Amino acid sequence: MSDSAAALAPRLVAEGVGTFFLVFLGIGTALFASHLADPAGAYAPGIVHLAVAAAFGLAYLASAAAFGRVSGAHLNPAVTLAVAAAGRLRWSDAGRYALVQTIGGLVATTLLVLVGLFGAVGWLETAQNGGFASAGWGARSAAGFDLPAAVIVELVLAALLALVFLGDGARHASAVGAALTAIHLVAAPVDGGLVNPATAIATAVYGGADALAQVWVFAVLPLVGALAAGLARRGAAAT
């Protein structure tokens, strides 16, 4: 193994495991909290959204505390793309980061499915029929927003997250954690998105045909928004 490969390996492990924990905790909260929101109204949908938003913010803080000094705790292919576009990461390393992040997310949702197999009768089927906490628009939007709304939300919020990370978030995880919480509060009613292609893919795989048909928006548009932010940040630094 070359010196460069040996140096990269711990970073890739950190990104994969860190993304695993982010998805397992965040999507796990979305699935289990939604299950508690029964028809009798024991938990209002707004309370579920708050719980999930907080879970993603706290999960990022925990993962960043564990792995931030190793890899930078991107935990999101869109953030990694922005970092590369800003000139702070080699493009070849960015592709590897994105791959292990996606694998980490898929392992997390697979284990959540395994947990569901041992849940109450019908729990897993209900979760999967409901999209398995995947993002979507139209009939799959919590508040009935259509595709143009999802496009705007994904582009704008991904750019925001990237700018936060490139600004102060790389040094202070609390900034990214707060941004993720705020992002979810806005995005959840519109499209359920988290401006994270790894999370989008990991949930859509178990969310059924409709989720897979719509996943391209949540896998591609955050990359576009983050790329624009990274290039803008690089341009501003050069002036």
- Give the torsion through C-alpha atoms of 151, 156, 157, 162, to 10 deg: 130
Q: Furthest-apart CA pair in the chain: how many Å?
A: 61
Q: What is the mean pLDDT of residues 130-152?
A: 94
Q: Is 31 exposed, middle or buried (0-12, 13-18, 19+ CB in 10 A)?
A: buried
Residue 29 has pLDDT above 50, yes or no: yes
Cβ-contact 52, 45 below 8 angstroms: no
CA gap 137, 190 in Å, rounded: 7
User: SS3 string of the chain?
Assistant: CCHHHHHHHHHHHHHHHHHHHHHHHHHHHHHHHHHHCCCCCCCCHHHHHHHHHHHHHHHHHHHHHHHHHHHCCCCCHHHHHHHHHCCCCCHHHHHHHHHHHHHHHHHHHHHHHHHHHCCCCCHHHHHHHCCCCCCCCHHHCCCCCCHHHHHHHHHHHHHHHHHHHHHHHCCCHHHHHHHHHHHHHHHHHHCCCCCCHHHHHHHHCCCCHHHHHHHHHHHHHHHHHHHHHHHHHHHHHHC
Q: Give the pTM.
A: 0.92
Q: What is the pLDDT of residues 185-210, one digit of tens each?
A: 999 999 998 899 999 999 999 999 99
Give pLDDT, residue 5.
Answer: 65
Cβ-contact 63, 18 below 8 angstroms: yes
Distance of CA 32 to the CA centre of its chain: 17
Q: What is the pLDDT of residues 154-190, one digit of tens each?
A: 999 999 999 999 987 667 789 999 999 999 999 999 9
Q: Give domain limits for the chain.
A: 3-233
Superfamily of domain 3-233 in the CATH hierarchy: Glycerol uptake facilitator protein. (1.20.1080.10)
CA gap 197, 78 in Å, rounded: 7
Residue 54 has pLDDT above 60, yes or no: yes
CA gap 158, 215 in Å, rounded: 16
Give pLDDT, residue 171.
Answer: 74
End-to-end Cα spacing for the chain: 39
Residue 118 has pLDDT above 90, yes or no: yes
Residue 41 has pLDDT above 50, yes or no: no
* Sign of the alpha-carbon dihedral angle for 67, 68, 71, 73: positive
